[in-house]
Amino acid sequence: MTDLAMLEREMTGWRRDLHAHPEFGFEEKRTSAFVAAKLREFGLDVAEGIGGTGVVGTLRRGSGNRAIALRADMDALRIPEQGTAEYRSQNPGVMHACGHDGHTTMLLGAAKLLAEDGGFDGTVRFIFQPAEEWGKGALAMLDDGLMERFPFEEIYGLHNMPGLPVGHFETRAGAMMSAEDNFEIVLKGVGGHAARPHAGNEVLVAACALVTNLQTIVSRRLSPADIGVVSVTEFITDGTRNALPGLARVLGDARSFRPEVSSEIEKQMRVIAEGTALTYNVSAEVTYTREFVPLLNDAALVDEAFAAARTVFEPHHIATAREPMTGSEDFARFLEHVPGCFVFLGNGKDSAPLHNPTYDFNDAGLIHGCRFHAAIVKRRLPAK
């Protein structure tokens, strides 16, 4: 049997190596090479370059013909790290600010644990995905024939959660994480001298009104029973100190859990943009794209995940997530093809928030994620 204390020390070393060498989405060449080398060392069949820089490891035991998948994301963010650890990022302007170094390490640990100890009957696909942060990695792997080349019947994934104590586990049936839509509204008028606004048709006042008007979509156009978020995140004009702008760009994102709500947000955004533009005698052009779909956990597999968690975590550390999270996760793309379950594991009450320049994955959580991955495999592919 695997020495878990020794495995935990190994995983800590792997995680800190990955943390020191972060790579942005579809640029994870060193990371994917590291993953592939470890998987081969453990005796798995390995395929590289899936969806660009993705890696798939396959482990078979016994004669069972069922296959399940475990997935981890590998990419980092373009955020300059402000942490002071000796293993801090050596790639300027890029850091693991979301814990994907930990996710990758936990799945590698599970691969080693299952390869050494077995205890299951069937096939496990270990999916190491690129480019989760901008919602393109799962689609790239699927478009590259993931399901046809490495078929599986269900899939599991996890994410660390700051604020939740280490050693704690949460998930829920149904809506777990939201869809994300992006929008850009371009207002065009006629710029001019700041001292003579009447001589042109500037767009700054119209754009300010637009930002305010967009806030009525959730408060006055959606049912109070639906969850929706509309956030303006950028406001850009071509004006300067003494020149009124003739062009303004208003950008942001919207979150929802149902396609009908997403469609209504887009519809109302177009109505408001056109109406505001008409009021101020400027033109408006709306671009609306859907980047992430909602993550919907399968109820039966959530029950299975809870059952597996009870073999890893203390009973009073296991809970049903009280409400869905309005963050997004492209693990949801896999759930459009097979049922699955996504879970949260604690990263510590005092952890910095995700996407914060001082964030660091808590190594004390590595063994919990590793053991949960192995437990769900042994439960879903029981040894004969």
CA angle, corner 307, sides to 303 and 310, nearest 5?
Answer: 140
The DSSP code for 141 is H
Q: How many CB atoms lie within 10 A of CB 174?
A: 13
DSSP SS3 for 286: strand
* Residue 355, annotated as binding a ligand: yes
Closest by CA to 275, choosing from 200, 191, 209, is 209
Q: What is the dihedral of CA 333, 336, 339, 340, to 10 degrees?
A: 10
DSSP SS3 for 244: strand
pLDDT for residue 71 is more than 90: yes
Site of tokens 């637009």: 210
What is the Cα–Cα distance from 35 to 17, expressed in whole angstroms?
12
* Residue 133, annotated as binding a ligand: yes
Percent of the chain with pLDDT over 90: 99
Tens digits of residue pLDDT in 233-247:
999 999 999 999 999
Task: Identify whether the C-beta of residue 184 lies closer than 8 Å to the C-beta of residue 269.
Answer: no
Residue 248: its pLDDT value, please? 98
**How high is the mean pLDDT of the chain?**
97
pLDDT for residue 88 is more than 90: yes
Task: Identify whether the C-beta of residue 79 lies closer than 8 Å to the C-beta of residue 94.
Answer: yes
Q: How many CB atoms lie within 10 A of CB 363?
A: 18
Torsions phi, psi for 178 (to 5 deg): -90, 165
Distances in Å between the alpha carbon of 315 and those of 168, 261, 311?
9, 37, 9
CA angle, corner 137, sides to 334 and 60, nearest 5?
Answer: 55
User: Exposed, middle or buried: residue 242 (CB in 10 Å: 0-12, 13-18, 19+)?
Assistant: exposed
* Residue 337, annotated as binding a ligand: no
Which residue segments constitute the domains of the chain, with CATH numbers given?
Answer: 4-177+295-380 (3.40.630.10), 179-292 (3.30.70.360)
**What average pLDDT does range 166-170 have in this prediction?**
98
The DSSP code for 190 is B
What is the Cα–Cα distance from 76 to 25, expressed in whole angstroms?
7
**pLDDT bucket at 81, cuts 50 / 70 / 90:** very high
Token code pair at residue 206: 């119209």
Residue 384: its pLDDT value, please? 87
DSSP SS3 for 271: helix
Residue 159: its pLDDT value, please? 98
Tens digits of residue pLDDT in 92-129:
999 999 999 999 999 999 999 999 999 999 999 999 99
Tens digits of residue pLDDT in 210-236:
999 999 999 999 999 999 999 999 999
Q: What are the residue ranges of helices labelled H in 122-246?
A: 137-143, 146-149, 204-214, 216
